[in-house]
Amino acid sequence: MKRRSNTVVYFFIFALIVANFFIYSKIFTNSIPEPSYAVSDGNINDNGDSGTDTPDSSDAPGNNQGSALSPDYKYITANVSDTYSGSLVLVNSSHEFKFDNVPTVVEKSVSDSVYYNKTSSYSVKDTNVTMDTVAISALNKMMDDFYAHMGNKKTIIITEGLRTFEEQQEILAQKIEQYGADQSIAQQPGFSEHHTGYAIDISVYIDGVMDTFTGEGEYSWLSENAYKYGFILRYPEGKETKTGISYEPWHFRYVGTVHAQYMHDNNLTLEEYIDTLALYPFESEHLKVTDQATSAQYEVYSVAVTSDGTKVPVPSALEGTEYTLSGDNAGHIIVTVKKAEG
């Protein structure tokens, strides 16, 4: 009798469990909404998206997908090779110069003999000293004014300009023989600024006698005023930890007047300036510079180029607005915009 009673209880419990299962299943099924195939205001595409062009991170400049720009700007397409050319390329022990680079939108440097293109205000060691042609024009203006500052006395000679890989090998061997294997004295081939065509070394040259340029006394005019012509003292004293090179008062580098002025005013080396420019992408506030000589207004911004086909925003063809491009040899294109007057 007791066993039968237990059987009845078990059966009753089992029946309750089954009944609850069916009730719960019905409720749960009714709570799931039916799939919707209603068309929204946009058209459904193959991915189930509405087709509305909603900006996201992939639409930002520096990516391969475009986004809507203001009418003041347009996109141009750049390749990684463009980051290796231009007057702002950084070349040092950790940034190798790219020989035989072919840029697509950045203008490639064109070098020529300084000797055959100079003015009469300075001397050049020989006809083999070459430099970027734009930089030669700036050098002529600077040397003409220095010549006047010196009372029309010719006292400067250009001893070094663009160097090939092989020429840098020879220079390094000479330096090692003189000073030992000190990386702060001379760079390895491929890592010298002289490969760019924008760097020069100068010496004092009076009555046929050449002497080291120390930048002292009346010669300090050059380091104090070089920025007005687009040049910087590339390896200044006290900045050795930034440049990795010992103080060289004779080594000047052309970067353009806008950039040289900002670097001069803020006591920046090229390494520090390139780091600074990375903080001014197109999407954010741009670096603003007023040219002291002309009062022209400039804006500078940086665009990361991580792959070929990267979209770079530049000003549209607005009257009075000009822009230039340069790579930095650190993964970016630097856009320098001269704003229209008024």
Per DSSP, the residues of 60-123 read SBTBSS-----TTEEEEEE-GGGGG-STT---BTTB---TT---SSSPPP-EEESTTT--TTSE
Q: Which residue matches tokens 């100079």?
A: 118
Question: Which tens digit of pLDDT belongs to each residue from 25-62?
Answer: 443 334 333 333 222 333 323 333 333 333 344 445 66
Q: What is the CATH number of domain 63-101+271-342?
A: 3.30.200.180
Query: Which residues, in sequence order, are bridge partners of residue 46?
Result: none
Query: Which residues, in sequence order, are bridge partners of residue 233?
Result: 252
- The closest of 320, 205, 300, 310 to 257, measured between CA atoms, is 300
Token pair of 215 as six digits: 């930048």
Contact 322, 291 (CB under 8 A): no
Residue 78, phi then psi, degrees to nearest 5: -115, 155
Please state the pTM of the whole predicted model: 0.80
In a structure prediction context, what are the per-residue pLDDT tens digits for the chain, which is 342 residues long? 444 444 444 545 555 454 554 444 443 334 333 333 222 333 323 333 333 333 344 445 665 444 578 888 999 999 999 999 999 999 999 999 999 999 999 999 999 999 999 999 999 999 999 999 999 999 999 999 999 999 999 999 999 999 999 999 999 998 888 887 666 667 899 999 999 999 999 999 999 999 999 999 999 999 999 999 999 999 999 999 999 999 999 999 999 999 999 999 999 999 999 999 999 999 999 999 999 999 999 999 999 999 999 999 999 877 668 999 999 999 999 999 998 876
Question: Which tens digit of pLDDT belongs to each residue from 166-183?
Answer: 999 999 998 888 887 666
d(CA 336, CA 288): 10
Question: Which tens digit of pLDDT belongs to each residue from 212-244?
Answer: 999 999 999 999 999 999 999 999 999 999 999
Residue 321 half-sphere exposure toward CB, CA atoms < 13 A: 13
**Annotated active-site positions, please?**
248
Domain boundaries in the chain?
63-101+271-342
d(CA 52, CA 63): 19
CA–centroid distance for 228 within its chain: 21
Token pair of 132 as six digits: 């970027």
Contact 114, 138 (CB under 8 A): no
Helical (H) or strand (E) element with 334: strand 332-338
Buried b / exposed e across 16-53, counting CB within 10 Å, b at 16+?
Answer: eeeeeeeeeeeeeeeeeeeeeeeeeeeeeeeeeeeeee
